[in-house]
Every structure is written in structure tokens, then in C-alpha cells.
Amino acid sequence: MIKAILTDIEGTTSSIDYVKTTMFGYSKKKLRDYLQSHWDQEHVKTIIKNLSKKLEKDVDIDLAVKTFEELIEKDIKDTLLKELQGHIWEEGFKSGELKGHIYEDAYLKLKELKEKGYKIFVYSSGSIKAQKLFFGHSSYGDITYLFDGFFDTTTGSKKDPDSYLKIASTIGLDPKEILFLSDIKEEINASKEAGMNAILVSRDSPCEEKDCIRDFTEINL
């Protein structure tokens, strides 16, 4: 019996375009300004120190901006970039310049499942900090109350079955008691290999397999 929902964000609860275009575009646009105005603060110093180690050279503001811009353009999932983006997005969400996009069907279904007593968790490649900001400043206001926990890639790769076993262990449920939702087939396969139930969310193309839905209205529990 399903007791918990584990959901992805991009392409699942929310528009990929919003995350890729609006949020990533915002972080790229604000990169230099943010680094300049926070250069002497501890959290930025730590990011730059770690970037220097990674590049094996001293990093000034120009090199930092160039490096992070390239990572954004190439859509490389880099831990230091994610950390920096989290800080930039925090300012954007708190100022109201950014609002997390949630599909209406996802919001209504998650609300309904929460009211029915299901536990709901998030597993996304975005940092836990970014996830909380996203849902805390969404198009439906602060909806973090819907979620019982957040997981990111510090748990492990979303394409590795072990990551799903770790999540099940952390939330104290058998994998078969968890339903995972994602728009990525490799993630669905990894979660199934770990013993979870899983449904592919295919918003932009017809479903070609059995465990597939077009949106959250098709979830029947």
C-alpha cells in the first residue's frame, strides 16, 4: 500500500522552461552583481576558495563569473554553482522578482493527497535550499507545508537505485510503500529497481508506456 509520494520538480510539478529559462537566466544575469556585493562575505569566500582548489589557480571575480556562466550555459550540475545559485535565488524570491511555477493540477493533487494523509517528499537535482525557496515563494504562495521532507543529489544520483533505497530508509518506509513521480525515464527505472512504485509524468508528449500520466489529475490512490 502506498503511504508516501516522492516527487521531482522540473517537468513534473513545474515547468522545465521556468526553471531553465527564468531561474537560470536570473542567476546568470545577477552573477556579477551578487559576487561583487558579497565578495567579502564568508559564504562567497568559501565558494571562491573551493573554486580555486578545483581550477588549481587563484580565482578573481572575472574568472569566477566566466566559470559559473559557462557552467550555466552548458547546464552542468556543479555543486558550487548550485550553492551560489541558491543564494542568488534567495534574494530573487524574497524580493518578489521570482515566483516558483507550479502546475495547477500538481498543486491541487498534492493538496488532496496531503489531506488524505499521505506523506509527500521532494527529490530534485536542485539544492534543498533552492527547493524550499521555490515552494516557499510559489505562484500559490508558501506551500512548503505540503511537504514532509526534501532530498537533493547529496543523497546520490537520481539515476542510481541506491539513492532511492537511502531515501526510503531515511523516511522509514519500505520502498514499495513509496510512489515516485518524474519526467525522466532513467530516474523512473532506478526507483523501480530499488523497489519503489513509479509513474512517468509526460506533460509534453504522448504516453508510450504503461505507468505513465500526462498530468497529476490522472493519479488515483
pLDDT at 52 over 90: yes
pLDDT at 129 over 90: no
CATH no. for residue 11?
3.40.50.1000
Mean pLDDT for 135-153 is 96
For the chain, the distance separating the N- and C-terminal CA atoms, rounded to the nearest angstrom, is 9
Query: Among 42, 63, 95, which residue terminates a domain?
Result: 95
Same domain, 8 and 115: yes
CATH no. for residue 86?
1.10.720.60
The total number of structural domains in the chain stands at 2
pLDDT at 7 over 90: yes
Same domain, 117 and 158: yes
Query: Among 64, 95, 126, which residue terminates a domain?
Result: 95
Same domain, 112 and 141: yes
Q: How do residues 20-51 score in pLDDT, each as one tens digit?
A: 899 999 999 999 999 999 999 999 999 999 99
Q: What is the residue range of 29's domain?
A: 19-95
Same domain, 34 and 114: no
Same domain, 34 and 54: yes
In three-state secondary structure terms, 170 is: helix
Q: How do residues 192-210 score in pLDDT, each as one tens digit?
A: 999 999 999 999 888 888 8
What is the C-alpha to C-alpha distance for residues 117 and 75, in angstroms, rounded to an integer?
Answer: 37
Asked if residue 205 lies in contact with residue 186, where contact means CB atoms within 8 angstroms, the answer is no
Q: How do residues 145-181 score in pLDDT, each as one tens digit?
A: 999 999 998 999 999 999 999 999 999 999 999 999 9
Residue closest to 123 by CA, chosen among 177, 164, 175, 78: 164
What is the C-alpha to C-alpha distance for residues 164 and 196, in angstroms, rounded to an integer?
Answer: 8
Under 8 Å CB-to-CB from 60, ≥6 apart: which residues? none
